[in-house]
Amino acid sequence: MADVTQEFFRSLAQRGHDRRLSAIHQGSVRFDIGRDGQVDHWLVSIAKGDVTVSEQETGGDAVVRANRAVFDRIASGEAYFLTSVLRGEAIVEGSPRIFAAVRRLFPPPPDSLGRARRGDDHG
């Protein structure tokens, strides 16, 4: 079985440059993802759209905390990052500017793509 969270961070590291993040001159977000009493840490650094990822338990202009099951759903597009935060399923602390940018790292939930194509924006 594939590890959705590890695959998500691996794919971020392979992106290299993401033009949607070009407005971020320098910033980072640390993800603290818990499961079975342990916490895995990833630090995503952004510099003018260049994205790097490291496994690091310190640092970050913002910190995202979630349990592994919630983060797996976010990383796979089954759940939307912002909705998960608003429901209290994921917690974000730190820079609002980085929080706004980090939302772009995640895929939209599959259902939102279908509504957008049909023009059904009020769901």
Whole-structure pTM over 0.95, yes or no? no
In percent, the amount of the chain with pLDDT more than 70 equals 86
- Domain membership of residue 118 (yes or no) is no
Predicted confidence (pLDDT) at residue 111 exceeds the cutoff of 90? no
Question: How many domains are there within the chain?
Answer: 1
Domain extent, residue 77, equals: 4-106
Predicted confidence (pLDDT) at residue 5 exceeds the cutoff of 90? yes
Q: Would you state the pLDDT for residue 114?
A: 52
- Domain membership of residue 123 (yes or no) is no
Q: How confident is the model at residue 112 (pLDDT cuts 50, 70, 90)?
A: low
Question: What average pLDDT does the segment 96-116 reach?
Answer: 72
Q: Which two tokens stand for residue 113?
A: 């793509």
- Domain membership of residue 113 (yes or no) is no
Domain with residue 69: its CATH number is: 3.30.1050.10
